[in-house]
Amino acid sequence: MKKLNFSRTLQLFLWFGVSALVPLKSLGHHSHANYLEGEWLNIEGTVSEIHWMNPHSWIYLDVVNSAGESKAWAIEGASITTLRRDGWTQESIQVGDELTMRCHPLKDGSRGCLLGYITLDDGSEKEFD
Amino acid sequence: MRLIKLITLMPLALGLVLPGVAAAQGWIKYVNEEDQFIVNFPGEPELLEVDYITESSAIIPSRIHSVENGNSRFAITVVDYTMAEEAHVARCRRLEVETGRVSPNQCSGNGHFRDIDGSVAFEAANIRRRSSGEITYDAFGRVDGVPGHQLQILHPDESRSFIGIYRLDRRLYVLEGTVSGDSPPPGLFQQSLGMLDEMGRRVRYQSDAEGNYSRIQARYEYIGEEDPVTGEPISDFSTGNVGRFIDPSERTGTWLPEASTQVFELRTYTTEDGKLPNLLTLFRDHATQLFEKHGMTHVGYWVPQDSPESENTLIYVVSHDSREAAQESWGAFRADPEWQRVAEESQADGPIVANIASVFIEATDFSPGQ
């Protein structure tokens, strides 16, 4: 999956609410108390950096907000080991890719989010946690 | 509270700085066995040794490992409470000299345990006290099952700090990542801490159904070299329960970057007599473009200056993401219909290549570009 084909128009869709979906499985390394695990945030953006690291992978995403400003977000994912097990590879996501994802926002409103799911080309969601 | 009394500012150049995927993106894994931690850093940390004043005013050593990166700063302070008892004795003697008497409440028994038990709360209070910003998050947290505290601060200039404070036995770990308002929050740093035991094994606890914590083996307990793709250990040492013994003097400050799998391939083509121009044309017009198409990266193409090799030899180097990628690229290249067509056309008057030699090579530690 070299490129994820999404809308070229980057928009931030915020819709907070108690989700009926199953909560994310535990990452194990650290507690997620600083994230709103009962709420979901849908965002779209362009990958500026991808950190394929342990104990967690991180995607830095440039997201255009409702005011038309591009802001950098830090998106936390699982460890390399877990991602690999789930079928992700180092080549799955590249800098410049446009991504749509669903994640748990930080409680303090800063631009961080805990994955969550990434939407694939066919519209389905794949766990990145 | 920190009292900078003894300053030893020295780059941690004790280990190797190796190229790698993570290093190329600016973040590497860093392990320090003397202070018993592993963490992700965006560059080479500097070390500052400072005195730390405990809640009961005892003075104990601490070490700050920090990286300044533009408007960002990432630091882990390791406070050594193994010296707490001795420090309390010293404090009592100091009080005796200064006041002529010692309060039994201050110096009796094992008072240093109060400092140790309260170390996380004390440091969190210190941070709140010195902060001029808005504390946007302030709550209990765990890393690898080790209890601690997390703080997030929005500063007046819109920069943000993400802080984690954890104590394992008699070491207090304080992570502070601060970035400008334009940058993504520094969770990558804050959430990367791993604590090690005296044997260099990563420490991890897990609770049972009753909430009782016990130490377990973690898949990432191993701190040695990992496969950059799978994250699995790739050296002889396993993630076995015994872990890995490492001489602290041997590995302190050693970088453990994500190992790069990039390989270079040196290829030497010897042509049939008089066919070097044909080969060069084939490469100039077709092969090099097809190399790119199939994921190879050009490094350089050369012909010898001296005869007889100057008349029949082409030498070039390409790089691949890995040996496996090389195999895939060459397979796709050879199967490419365009290559098959132009290769056949180039041999209309007979073969042009007499021999091909391929050697996969990697840069030495003293090679430029490391």
The pLDDT of B268-284, averaged and rounded, is: 94
Query: What would the pLDDT profile of A61-111 be if each residue is shown by its tens digit?
Result: 999 999 999 999 999 998 877 787 788 888 889 899 999 999 999 999 999
Q: Is 70 exceeded by the pLDDT of residue A12?
A: no
Residues of A in contact with B152 (CB under 8 A): 34, 106, 108, 110
Structure tokens at B17: 């700085």
Say whether residue B25 is in contact with chain A using an 8 A CB cutoff: yes
Residue B346 lies in a domain: yes
Q: How many CA atoms are closer than 13 Å to the CA of B347, on its beta-carbon side? A: 12
User: Residue B258: which of A28, A53, A56 has the nearest Cβ?
Assistant: A53
**Residue linked to tokens 């290829």:** B267
Print the domain residue range for B187: 2-251
Of chain A, the end-to-end C-alpha distance in Å amounts to 18
Residue B333 lies in a domain: yes
Residues B86 and B218 reside in one and the same domain = yes
Residues B217 and B272 reside in one and the same domain = no
CATH number at residue B274: 3.30.70.100
The number of domains in chain B is 2
Query: What would the pLDDT profile of B294-327 be if each residue is shown by its tens digit?
Result: 989 888 999 999 999 999 999 999 988 888 889 8
> At which of B212, B227, B251 does a domain end?
B251
> At which of B251, B281, B313 does a domain end?
B251
The pLDDT of B27-49, averaged and rounded, is: 85
Q: Å from A128 to nearest chain B CA?
A: 15
Say whether residue B216 is in contact with chain A using an 8 A CB cutoff: no
Domain boundaries, chain A: 12-127
CB B313 within 8 A of CB B276: yes
DSSP helix, strand, coil percent of chain B (3-state; round to 5): 25, 35, 40
Residues B74 and B33 reside in one and the same domain = yes
Percent of chain B at pLDDT > 90 equals: 46
Per-residue model confidence (pLDDT) at position A19: 32
Residue from B25, B29, B146, B217 whose CB has the most chain A CBs within 10 Å, to mutate: B25
Residues B301 and B214 reside in one and the same domain = no
Per-residue model confidence (pLDDT) at position B99: 78
Residue B366 lies in a domain: no
Residues B356 and B214 reside in one and the same domain = no
CATH for A12-127 (2.40.128, 2.40.50, 1.10.1760, 1.10.3470): 2.40.50
Residues B224 and B292 reside in one and the same domain = no
Say whether residue A62 is in contact with chain B using an 8 A CB cutoff: no
Residues B216 and B320 reside in one and the same domain = no
Mean pLDDT taken over chain B = 80
Contacts of B284 (CB under 8 A, 6+ apart): none
Q: Is 90 exceeded by the pLDDT of residue B85?
A: no
Interatomic CA distance for residues B177 and B172, integer angstroms: 16
Residue B310 lies in a domain: yes
Torsion of CA B91, B97, B100, B104, to 10 degrees: 20
Interatomic CA distance for residues B171 and B36, integer angstroms: 9
> At which of B202, B218, B251 does a domain end?
B251
What count of CB pairs under 8 Å joins A to B?
106
Say whether residue A101 is in contact with chain B using an 8 A CB cutoff: no
